[in-house]
Amino acid sequence: MSGPRREQGDGGKRTRPASGREADPGPRPSRSSGPRPTASPSRPADASDAADPISIERRMRVDRDPEAPRRPMERLADLLPETVRQFGLEDQLEQARAAAAWLRIVAEHVPAAAGSCRLTGLSQGVATIEADEPIVAQEIRLRSPELLRALRNATAAPVRQVRITTRHV
């Protein structure tokens, strides 16, 4: 045989020329994950940066006066409403809160349907519920007055109607 031979045990990935010597695989790809930071705002890069990546991290930190008073910590839950308002995401936050409330309500009022239905939309006072199976949809329809009352009490959204759909798999 004069053509390349496949080595055994390597899944046929490496080939050897007929002479029996390893074929040169060529240059290896670089292992770097991208460009590394080389300077900070307060100090330019130098040749020692490449040898000491930890010092790069330390220099990239914002230089602050250790004597300056620190701002008090704030809870994320306290910051979230203002941030949501700034970005105009009030409707999405209200829908997320209603979806979480729906899961709790279903687990409490219809335990057999817990995990098999979810609130997928809340628009113009209509809560759209998606059920995984027709039997679950029927149970939600039968108990919809009770569930609707609980959903109204649990959320600030004015929910006047529940619409149930069956998920098609």
Q: What is the CATH number for 122? A: 3.30.300.180
pLDDT tens, position by position, 35-79: 555 555 555 555 555 556 666 666 556 566 777 788 888 898 888
pLDDT, tens digit (0-9, with 9 covering 90-100), for 104-142: 999 999 999 999 999 999 999 999 999 999 999 999 999
Rounded to two decimals, what is the model's pTM? 0.55
**Containing structural domain, residue 105:** 90-166
Residue 51 pLDDT: 58
In a domain, 108, yes or no: yes
SS (H, E, C) 41-96: CCECCCHHHCCCHHHHHHHHCCCCCCCCCCCCCCCHHHHHHHHHHHHCCHHHHHHH
Residue 11 pLDDT exceeds 60:
no
Least confident range of 33-37, 147-151, 160-164 = 33-37
- Residue bearing the bigger pLDDT, 82 or 30: 82
Counting the structural domains of the chain, the total is 1
